[in-house]
Amino acid sequence: MSAPFLKARAKTGQEPDPAPPVPPTPASPSAGLRVIVLANQKGGVGKTTTAINLGTALAAIGEHVLIIDLDPQGNASTGLGIERRDRKLSTYDVMVGTQPIRAVVQATIVPRLSIAPATLDLLGVELEIASRKDLAFCLREAMRAFSQEQRDSPEAERFTYVLIDCPPSLNLLTMNAMTAADSVLVPLQCEFFALEGLSQLLATVDQVRTNLNAGLTIHGIVLTMFDSRNSLASQVVADVRGFMGDKVYETVIPRNVRVSEAPSHGKPVLLYDLKCSGSQAYLKLASELIQRERAFRAAANLESENS
Phi, psi of 116 (to 5 degrees): -100, 105
pLDDT, tens digit, 9 for 90 and up, residues 41-76:
888 899 999 999 999 999 999 999 999 999 999 999
pLDDT of residue 228: 85
Domains of the chain and CATH, by start: 22-306 (3.40.50.300)
- Among 215, 187, 180, residue whose Cα is nearest residue 201: 187
Asked if pLDDT for residue 132 goes beyond 70, the answer is yes
Asked if pLDDT for residue 185 goes beyond 90, the answer is yes
What angle, rounded to 10 degrees, do the helices at 172-180 and 194-211 form? 60
CA distance 66 to 107: 9
Asked if pLDDT for residue 144 goes beyond 60, the answer is yes
Phi, psi of 70 (to 5 degrees): -110, 15
Asked if pLDDT for residue 200 goes beyond 60, the answer is yes
Q: What is the DSSP string of 69-88?
A: E--TT-HHHHHTT--GGG-S
Average pLDDT of the chain is 87
Q: Is 42 helix (H, G, I), strand (E, B) or coil?
A: coil
- CA within 13 Å, CB half, 63: 21
- CA within 13 Å, CB half, 171: 16
Whole-structure pTM value: 0.87
> In this structure, what DSSP letter does residue 276 have?
S
pLDDT, tens digit, 9 for 90 and up, residues 277-307:
999 999 999 999 999 988 887 877 777 677 6
> In this structure, what DSSP letter does residue 23 have?
-
Categorize the per-residue pLDDT at 12 as very low, low, confident or very high, splitting at 50, 70 and 90.
very low
Q: What is the DSSP string of 204-240?
A: HHHHHHHHT-TT-EEEEEEEEEE-TT-HHHHHHHHHH
Exposed/middle/buried for residue 176 (C-beta within 10 Å: 0-12, 13-18, 19+): buried
Could you tell me which residue, 131 or 36, shows the higher pLDDT? 36
Contact 150, 158 (CB under 8 A): yes
Pairing, β 106-107 against β 113-116: antiparallel
Pairing, β 217-226 against β 248-254: parallel
Mean pLDDT, range 116-131, rounded to an integer? 93
pLDDT of residue 5: 40
pLDDT of residue 8: 41
Asked if pLDDT for residue 191 goes beyond 90, the answer is no
CA distance 142 to 144: 5
